[in-house]
Structure 1
Amino acid sequence: MEILTAAELLAALGHESRLAIFRLLIEAGQEGMNASAIGEKLALPGATLSFHLAHLTRAGLITGKRESRFIRYTAKYETMSELMAFLTHNCCQGHECMPKRFSCPVDAKPVAPSSPPNEVEP
């Protein structure tokens, strides 16, 4: 991945609403969500939602597929994986310190955390 491409992807995610949309679509998995469900879940007005969905689509982070009168959006996991690989390339001066691969399998089941993310275990 070129540095300019990475910068464009990060810029697209650099807005609170677009980041929330992208994270919601990541959570939705390969099934994705239609635009109205995204708008309801995030309490975004139609025009605002449309603007942000178009921006994420142009950046290559999501894709939309028409289903009758609706458009179902899904995250582009391959783009996310490429960005993560770019960001962590040669991490820790080449020493293996973290997973090489950040993509999740399509049939993966969500795993509940052992403790809430902001709490410290005793």
Structure 2
Amino acid sequence: MESNTVVKALSALAQASRLEIFRALVVAGEAGLTPGILADALKVAPNTLSFHLKELMHADLVSQKRDGRNLIYRAQFDRMSDLLTYLTQNCCQGEPCLTGVVASLGVCVP
């Protein structure tokens, strides 16, 4: 994953509403959600939601597919995985991370 792609994805997620929308789509899984369901669940105005979904799509974190009369938005799990891999690629200076409580806190001890 290239640095500019990572910056674009992180920039898209660095806004509270977009992060909340993305997390809702991750929870929804492959089934995805319609804009109406998202707007109701997150209490976001439809035009505001549309703007944020466009930003997430531009960052390639969310996909859109038409299903009859509905648009279905889904998290791009492969892109999310690539981003997480990029961010943790050099964790613990190349040494295996400890498991258990220390690892669950996100602390790496070589």
Corresponding letter in the other structure for 2:47: A
Match of 2:7 in 1: 7
Correspondence 1:78 to 2:101: no
How do 1:60-99 and structure 2 match up within 5 A? Answer: 60-97=60-97
Equivalent position SS for 2:82: helix
Match of 2:102 in 1: none
Superposed displacement of residue 2, structure 1: 1.1
Superposed displacement of residue 98, structure 1: 6.8
Correspondence 1:36 to 2:36: yes
Pick closer, same or farther for the CA change 1:98–1:33 going to 2, 3 Å.
farther
Long gaps (5+) in structure 2: 100-110
Corresponding letter in the other structure for 2:43: A
RMSD: 1.3
Pick closer, same or farther for the CA change 1:98–1:20 going to 2, 3 Å.
farther
Q: Which of the two has greater helix per residue?
A: 2
CA–CA separation in structure 1 for the residues paired with 2:82 and 2:13 = 15
- What is the identity percentage for the equivalent residue pairs of Structure 1 and Structure 2? 42
Number of aligned residues:
99
How do 1:53-64 and structure 2 match up within 5 A? Answer: 53-64=53-64
Long gaps (5+) in structure 1: 100-122
TM-score by length of 2: 0.86
Equivalent position SS for 1:33: coil
Structure 1 runs (4+) greater than 6 angstroms displaced: none
